[in-house]
C-alpha cells in the first residue's frame, strides 16, 4: 500500500544504521540525503577531525624523537597534502557506506525530504520535487553549529569550514570551551598556527571532572595555546589584515580566522514536522519516547535531533534499537548510564561515569577518590614537560567504581576497557585484584592505593 515500509530522512550515523538494520530484518527501505552519505561524523566531524589530530601531533613527536637519538631534519608541514589525503579517506569511507546500504537493498535518494502528512514525504532536488509514501518514517537529520548573535558574527566560521580550508591561517581564535573548541585548538596549535581559545566560564569543558578540566587547560597553556577563561567576544570587526575581536573588559585580540564552537542545534526547521503533529522542544529538538517514537505514532527520531548526548555511537545504538523494535519484534532501547567518551584534545581525555563533583552530590561523604599523577615514560627521555592524571571514584558503601577519568596519552584507548568494567559494576577490590600490564599508563588504574 505504501511505497516503502520504512523511509529515513538523513544519512548520518543514526539514519544509516537504522535503515541498514531495518532492511536486514526484511523491510523495504528508502533513505534520502541532500548532502553526502555518512553525516557529520564521517564527512566533517569525528573522522576528519581525528586525522587532523594525528597530523598535528607530529610536531611534538618530532621534538620528542631528539631525546631518543633521532636527529632533526626537514620536518616542514604541507597542509595541501593533508587536505587531499583527508578528502580521499573521507571519499573512501563514504563509498563504503554506500556499498553497505546497496548490499542491503536500501534505496539511496539524493534529495531533501519534507513531511507532507504522516505517511507522505516530499523530495526536492535540483530538478524538482516528487512525492513518496511510507508506513514508518525516521527523522535522523542531525544537528548544525549554532552561533550567538553578536555584531560581526557573519565573519565567523564553524568546524564545518575548517575541514575545507585551502590554506592554514597564521592566527586563529576558537570560541567555546566544549569538545569541538578544545579539539580544534589542539589541532591548530600542533600545526603551527598561533592559536587562542576564548571561553566564557571559569573552566573549560563544563560538566566533566573539574581536576581533569583544570589539567587540560594547564597543559594547553604549556603548549603555547592562549587560553582565556571568563572572557567573551562582544564584537567582531573586519580589518585590512584580518579581524579584531572586542572582548569583555576592554581587551582586544587580532586574528585571521574565528571558529565558533558554541554548540549545535537540531536540524528540524522547514521539514514540516510541527505541521504533521510532531512536538518539538523550545530549542527545536524532537520529543521521543524510550523507543524513539515522536508524538506522531508512525514517525520516529534518533541521534542529535532528539537532543540527547550528541555522540556518533549513541546515534548508531539508537538507530539499531529502533530497527530491532520496529522490524524485528524485539523492543529495544539504549541504556544511557556510564557512557564512555573521549575528547581528542592534546593531551586527550577519556572519561566514564560520574565526575568527582557529581559523585559527591550523589553519594556524599561515601565517595573515596583515588588519584595518580605521573609523567609518561615516553616523555622522560623526550624531556617533554607534560603530566598525566588518572582518577577513580569509589562508593565506599558498595566498593563500586562509579567514575574513571584520565588525561594523558592513549586515554581514549584505555577508557573503553574501563567503560566495560564500570558497566559491569566492578568494585575497587576487583580493580586491585587485576594484574597490572607493565610498563604502561593503563596499569595506574589497578595500582591506586
Under the binding rule (CB under 6 A), the answer on residue 179 touching ligand NDP is yes
CB of 448 to ligand NDP, least distance (A): 26
Between 262 and 411, CB nearer to ligand NDP: 262
Under the binding rule (CB under 6 A), the answer on residue 48 touching ligand NDP is no
Residues 6+ apart with CB under 8 A from 172: 188, 193, 194, 195, 196, 255, 256, 257, 258, 259
Pick one of 6, 7, 52, 344: the residue that binds ligand NDP (CB under 6 A).
344
Q: Of the listed pieces 7-15, 195-203, 326-334, 438-446, which binds ligand NDP according to CB under 6 A? A: 195-203
Between 140 and 180, CB nearer to ligand NDP: 180
Under the binding rule (CB under 6 A), the answer on residue 152 touching ligand NDP is no
CA-to-CA distance for 75 and 59, rounded, in angstroms?
8
CB of 338 to ligand NDP, least distance (A): 16
Contact track, ligand NDP, 296-335, x by CB under 6 A = -------------xxx------------------------
Output the nine-digit C-alpha cell for 268: 528540524
Pick one of 13, 262, 267, 355: the residue that binds ligand NDP (CB under 6 A).
262
**Collapsed DSSP state (helix, strand, coil) of residue 85:** helix
Under the binding rule (CB under 6 A), the answer on residue 47 touching ligand NDP is no
Contact track, ligand NDP, 119-148, x by CB under 6 A = -----------------------------x
Between residue 67 and residue 106, which ones bind ligand NDP under the rule CB under 6 A? none
> Does the active-site annotation cover 104?
no
Pick one of 177, 186, 190, 409: the residue that binds ligand NDP (CB under 6 A).
177
Under the binding rule (CB under 6 A), the answer on residue 342 touching ligand NDP is yes
CB of 165 to ligand NDP, least distance (A): 18
Residues 6+ apart with CB under 8 A from 57: 190, 346
CA-to-CA distance for 31 and 204, rounded, in angstroms?
38
Between 292 and 344, CB nearer to ligand NDP: 344
Return the closest-CA partner of residue 222 out of 382, 389, 387, 364: 387
Determine the distance from the C-alpha atom of residue 216 to the mean position of all C-alpha atoms in its chain, rounded to a whole number.
17
CA-to-CA distance for 140 and 32, rounded, in angstroms?
10
CB of 379 to ligand NDP, least distance (A): 23
CB of 278 to ligand NDP, least distance (A): 23
DSSP 86-125: HHHHHHHHHHHHHHHHHHTTPEEEESEEEEEETTEEEEEE
The single residue of 75, 104, 119, 438 carrying the catalytic annotation is 438
How many Cβ atoms are within 10 Å of 437's Cβ, its own excluded? 11
Cβ–Cβ under 8 Å, residues 305 and 292: no
Cα-only R_g, the chain: 24
Return the closest-CA partner of residue 292 out of 271, 314, 313, 312: 314
CA-to-CA distance for 110 and 209, rounded, in angstroms?
43
Cβ–Cβ under 8 Å, residues 339 and 415: no
Under the binding rule (CB under 6 A), the answer on residue 212 touching ligand NDP is no
Pick one of 38, 39, 169, 176: the residue that binds ligand NDP (CB under 6 A).
176
Between 180 and 266, CB nearer to ligand NDP: 180
Residues 6+ apart with CB under 8 A from 18: 6, 8, 138, 140, 302, 318, 319, 320, 322, 323
Active site residues: 438
Residues making contact with ligand NDP (CB under 6 A) = 148, 175-181, 183, 199-201, 206, 261-264, 309-311, 341-344
Amino acid at each position: 500500500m505504501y511505497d516503502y515500509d520504512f523511509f529515513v530522512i538523513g544519512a548520518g550515523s543514526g539514519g544509516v544504521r537504522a535503515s541498514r538494520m531495518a532492511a536486514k530484518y526484511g523491510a523495504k527501505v528508502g533513505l534520502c540525503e541532500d548532502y553526502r552519505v555518512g553525516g557529520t561524523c564521517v564527512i566533517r566531524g569525528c573522522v576528519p577531525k581525528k586525522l587532523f589530530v594525528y597530523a598535528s601531533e607530529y610536531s611534538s613527536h618530532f621534538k620528542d624523537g631528539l631525546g631518543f637519538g633521532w636527529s632533526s631534519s626537514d620536518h616542514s608541514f604541507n597542509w595541501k597534502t593533508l587536505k587531499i589525503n583527508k578528502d580521499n579517506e573521507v571519499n573512501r569511507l563514504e563509498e563504503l557506506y554506500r556499498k553497505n546500504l546497496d548490499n542491503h537493498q536500501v534505496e539511496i535518494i539524493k534529495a531533501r525530504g519534507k513531511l507532507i502528512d504522516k505517511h507522505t514525504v516530499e523530495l526536492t532536488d535540483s530538478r524538482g520535487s516528487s512525492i513518496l509514501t511510507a508506513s514508518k518514517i525516521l527523522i535522523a537529520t542531525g544537528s548544525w553549529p549554532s552561533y550567538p548573535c553578536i555584531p560581526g558574527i557573519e565573519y565567523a566560521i564553524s568546524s564545518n569550514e575548517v575541514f575545507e580550508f585551502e590554506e592554514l591561517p597564521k592566527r586563529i581564535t576558537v570560541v567555546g570551551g566544549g569538545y569541538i573548541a578544545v579539539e580544534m585548538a589542539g589541532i591548530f596549535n600542533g600545526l603551527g598556527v598561533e592559536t587562542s581559545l576564548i571561553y566564557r566560564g571559569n573552566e573549560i569543558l563544563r560538566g566533566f571532572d573539574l581536576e581533569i578540566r583544570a589539567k587540560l587547560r594547564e597543559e594547553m597553556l604549556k603548549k603555547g595555546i592562549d587560553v582565556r577563561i571568563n572572557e567573551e567576544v562582544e564584537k567582531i570587526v573586519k580589518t585590512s589584515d584580518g579581524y579584531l575581536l572586542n572582548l569583555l573588559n576592554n581587551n582586544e585580540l587580532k586574528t585571521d580566522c574565528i571558529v565558533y564552537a558554541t554548540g549545535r542545534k537540531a536540524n528540524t526547521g522547514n521539514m514540516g514536522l510541527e505541521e504533521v503533529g510532531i512536538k518539538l522542544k523550545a530549542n527545536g529538538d524532537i520529543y521521543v519516547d524510550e523507543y524513539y517514537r515522536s508524538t506522531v505514532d508512525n514517525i520516529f527520531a534518533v541521534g542529535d535531533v532528539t537532543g540527547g548526548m550528541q555522540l556518533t555511537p549513541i546515534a548508531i545504538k539508537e538507530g539499531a534499537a529502533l530497527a530491532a523494535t520496529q522490524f524485528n519484534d524485539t523492543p529495544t532501547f539504549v541504556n544511557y548510564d556510564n557512557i564512555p567518551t573521549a575528547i581528542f584534545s592534546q593531551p586527550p581525555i577519556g572519561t566514564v561515569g560520574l565526575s568527582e563533583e557529581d559523585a559527591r552530590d550523589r553519594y556524599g561523604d561515601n565517595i573515596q577518590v583515588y588519584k595518580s599523577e605521573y609523567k609518561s615514560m615516553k616523555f622522560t627521555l623526550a624531556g617533554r614537560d607534560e603530566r598525566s592524571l588518572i582518577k577513580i571514584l569509589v562508593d565506599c558503601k558498595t566498593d563500586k567504581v562509579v567514575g574513571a577519568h584520565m588525561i594523558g596519552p592513549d586515554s581514549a584507548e584505555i577508557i573503553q576497557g574501563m567503560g566495560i568494567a564500570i558497566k559491569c559494576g566492578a568494585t575497587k577490590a576487583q580493580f586491585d585484584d587485576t594484574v597490572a600490564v607493565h610498563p604502561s599508563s593503563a596499569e595506574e588504574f589497578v595500582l591506586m592505593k
